Amino acid sequence: MKVLTIILAFLFVQNLFGQNQYSYIEKIEEKIDYCGKLNSVKELIGQEVKIWHNGGIYSTLNARDNIKWPNEEIKKTAGKEYWDGYEPQIGDIGKIVFVSESKYKEIIYILKIKDYYVPIKCSYIVSPESLDVNEAHQKRWDEIYAYGEGDCNFKKFGINDTWNRAGIAEIDRMSESFACELKTKGIDTLMLVKRISDNGSSPYEKEYVLWKENGQGYLKTLENNEKHKPTQTEPKKFDWDDLINFYEERNVSSETKQPESIISHFTNLIVQFYNGSNFYAFGMQLVCKEEDEKLKNVQFIRLIDNKLK
């Protein structure tokens, strides 16, 4: 079956920047096109459906004449004034009693849930056996945490309280898998750098894997695009001893203060670094308060960012 990838924000975990964690929720495309032509979907009357997300419920639609109603009694009772505190929930199962089209060409279903009539937009329902958004959300995060099992920290979401987006977007999984393969081969000087959005996944993101092997530095670059099908370069020789020296000489990992974000969403630079047996993880928005520029972890981020531009 085809998969529709829909980016939804959930108040699931707060990252270090005060932003909400974003996740990819996969809504399976239904065998039935609930948003099809009106004459076609009218044949669904009498069938049961599940509320995929309650953001498409029109609790005051009955106060207007935006759709054709089956009768005045259903119109009167199909709204929150009649529901008397009842709130339709994600995952509720209801029977289709009527289908109409709004003046905005939206397909609207009238569901009967228990003793209540509930108007809902077509894209917010699924078949009863399909996952609702909460179930899909739980399934997705179960998969992400399972992906991070093992001893490679690059695949562990939120390692060291750092929002690293591990396992979420394809560009993340590609860079993490490559870096973890190097670690498995015994490479112990290894850095994964992500220049990514904290608001879903952007077509302009880049991720970098840097490593030392037999004294030689290397770099591999991965780049996202509008189709979210990342491309990657072949490894090339790359001298990044200055980054290692800065980290060791300035004792960057000892910095405990976090820079403060000054805007809601922006590009972040996330650094995860195996230096021998030590592992360091830190990330920040690339815009912060001027007084935070003196922090060692911020200076380290600036050095990496300029090196990789």
| pLDDT per position as a tens digit, 169-185 | 999 999 999 999 999 99
Mean pLDDT of the chain: 91
**45, 44, 5: which is closest to 140 by C-alpha?**
5
Total-model pTM: 0.79
pLDDT value at 267 more than 70:
yes
64 bridge partner residues: none
For 82, the enclosing helix (H) or strand (E) is helix 80-83
Residues above pLDDT 70, as percent of the chain: 91
What pLDDT is stored for residue 24 in this prediction?
Answer: 55
How do 125-126 and 48-51 pair as beta strands?
A: antiparallel
Determine the 3-state secondary structure of 150 from DSSP: coil
Interatomic CA distance for residues 230 and 175, integer angstroms = 10
Section 91-102 average pLDDT? 97
Instruction: Provide, for the chain, the percentages of residues in helix, strand and coil under a 3-state DSSP scheme, each rounded to the nearest 5.
Output: 30, 30, 40
pLDDT for residue 59: 97
Least-confidence region, from 145-149, 245-249, 262-266, 281-285: 262-266
- Give the confidence band of 1 by pLDDT, cuts at 50, 70, 90: very low
Helix segments in 121-221, DSSP class H: 133-147, 170-184
CA gap 113, 215 in Å, rounded: 68
| Distance separating alpha carbons of residues 301 and 292, to the nearest angstrom | 12
Closest-CA residue to 222 (of 176, 284, 166) = 176
Mean pLDDT (whole number) for 183-190? 98
Residue 302: partners with Cβ closer than 8 Å, 6 or more residues away: 293
Q: Residues 259, 21, 175, 267: what is their CA dihedral angle, to the nearest 10 degrees?
A: -50
Grouping H, G, I as helix, E, B as strand and the rest as coil, residue 59 is: coil
pLDDT for 200 equals: 78
Q: pLDDT tens across 127-168, in order? A: 999 999 999 999 999 999 999 999 999 999 999 999 999 999
Q: How far apart are CA 225 and CA 230, in angstroms?
A: 6
DSSP code of 176? H
| Cα–Cα separations (whole angstroms), residue 142 to 105, 146, 167 | 38, 6, 11
**% of the chain beyond a pLDDT of 90:** 84
> Tokens in use for 54?
């309650």
Helix (H), strand (E) at residue 268: strand 267-275
Per-residue pLDDT of 222-253, as tens digits, reads 999 999 999 999 999 999 999 999 999 999 99
pLDDT tens string 71-93: 999 999 999 999 999 999 999 99
